[in-house]
Amino acid sequence: MLTWEINPGRPALTRAPALAGMAEAGEWLRAAAPELRTALHEHGVVFLRGLPVAGTADIATVRDILLPNRTPYREKATPRSDFGDGVFSSTDLPPAQSIRMHNENSYTLTFPGLLLFACLIAPAEGGATPVADCRQVLKELPPHLVDRMKSSGWTLTRTYSDYVSLGWRTAFGTEDREEVEAYCRENLISWEWLPDGNLRTSQLRSGTISHPETGDEVWFNHLAFWNEWSLEEDVREALTEEFGSDGLPFNTGFGDGEPVTAEDVAALNAAYAAATVRETWQRGDVMLVDNVLAAHGRDPFRGDRKIAVAMGEPLDVLDCRPSVRPAAGV
């Protein structure tokens, strides 16, 4: 039986016993897997400390035990390094940049049900991967925001560009426009080829879903994460002046056509903050995140940092009782 450390402001943590190597660690993980899944359903995230994880091959071994059904990274939005065998860097964005709370791939029709983060190099300062229970986020939000999302959903508009975001070739992993169009058609995304050769897409998604196993209703989206009011003021002004609101790399709105206000984003960020916990990374740490029950982000950091991620247990959004059916954007 696992022993759990439950402390305010920190995720549930359990420590592995002394293990001789990854073979022995694998045996321990297989035996512990049912308890870990039960704890995930309760807490949304669990931290494992003391595993002999020293490289990306070890991470893949842990992944294959705990997340045997892999989920590919679809509709890429941020730069990542591919370490091979389905293991990636968590992000390659600059160290000084914080990453707001989000559920991985909340905008895709199929998304990972579980995420596995592992620490290969712990930063000297900062760099935690904070997590927030999305059941609590839903409870913390103003009722008018919840009602609007339940009734109308949210829209994501992306303008792909090699200069200010990922280009469409990188995001879709192809040079073929017809392949991009086929993907968009199959995945309920509207698209428009721009005169400069870039691509603009739009999609309508549900802002709340329910966990397919626990039945818990959660806040599940990128509404605040990619909204223009989440940009630094000088960046927002410069990008809007250059490209207009419709030409920003990312922007979000409500599904009924109403814009998201700065006050809405502030309320969303406050709800995430109230539900957020974090643990300081140590080398070899593994964190499991139920991607429906918990959102995650990244704190700024100093020094070297190498956090790898693997994704698994794919879920179809229609199996999660979305309050709004997904559709192509207008």
The total number of structural domains in the chain stands at: 2
pLDDT of residue 244: 76
Give the strand pairing for 12-15 and 45-49.
Answer: parallel
Q: Is 137 exposed, middle or buried (0-12, 13-18, 19+ CB in 10 A)?
A: buried
Mean pLDDT (the chain, rounded): 93
34 occurs within a structural domain: yes
The answer to the question of residue 248 being in a domain is: yes
- In angstroms, rounded to a whole number, what is the distance separating the alpha carbons of residues 239 and 224? 18
Indicate if 144 and 251 belong to the same structural domain: yes
Q: What pLDDT does 285 receive?
A: 97
Please indicate, yes or no, whether residues 117 and 28 belong to a single structural domain of this protein: yes
Which pLDDT score, from 0 to 100, does residue 163 have?
A: 77
The pLDDT value given to residue 327: 97
Residue 130, domain member (yes or no):
no
Rounded Cα distance between 65 and 32, Å, is: 10
Residue 105 domain-assigned? no
If asked whether residues 76 and 197 sit together in one domain, one would say no
Write the DSSP symbol of residue 213. T
Give pLDDT, residue 134. Answer: 98
Q: Would you state the pLDDT for residue 273?
A: 97
Q: Assign residue 26 a region: left if phi > 0, alpha if psi is -120 to 50, beta otherwise?
A: alpha
Q: What is the C-alpha to C-alpha distance for residues 252 and 140, in angstroms, rounded to an integer? A: 21
* 261 and 160 in a common domain: yes
User: Please, which residues have CB within 8 angstroms of residue 154's CB and are 6 or more apart in sequence?
Assistant: 204, 205, 206, 207, 221, 222, 223, 252, 253, 254, 255
Residue 29: per-residue pLDDT? 96
CATH number of the structural domain spanning residue 162: 3.60.130.10
Helices (H), 212-325: 233-243, 262-275
Clarify whether residues 169 and 210 are in a common domain: yes
Domain identity same for 264 and 284 = no
303-325 pLDDT per residue, tens: 999 999 999 999 999 999 999 99
Q: Which residues of the chain have pLDDT under 70?
A: none
Q: What is the per-residue pLDDT across 161-187, written as a single tens digit (0 to 9) for each?
A: 877 778 899 899 999 999 999 999 999
Q: What is the reported pLDDT for 81?
A: 83
Structure tokens at 102: 């989000």
If asked whether residues 150 and 248 sit together in one domain, one would say: yes
| Structural domain of 150 | 137-269
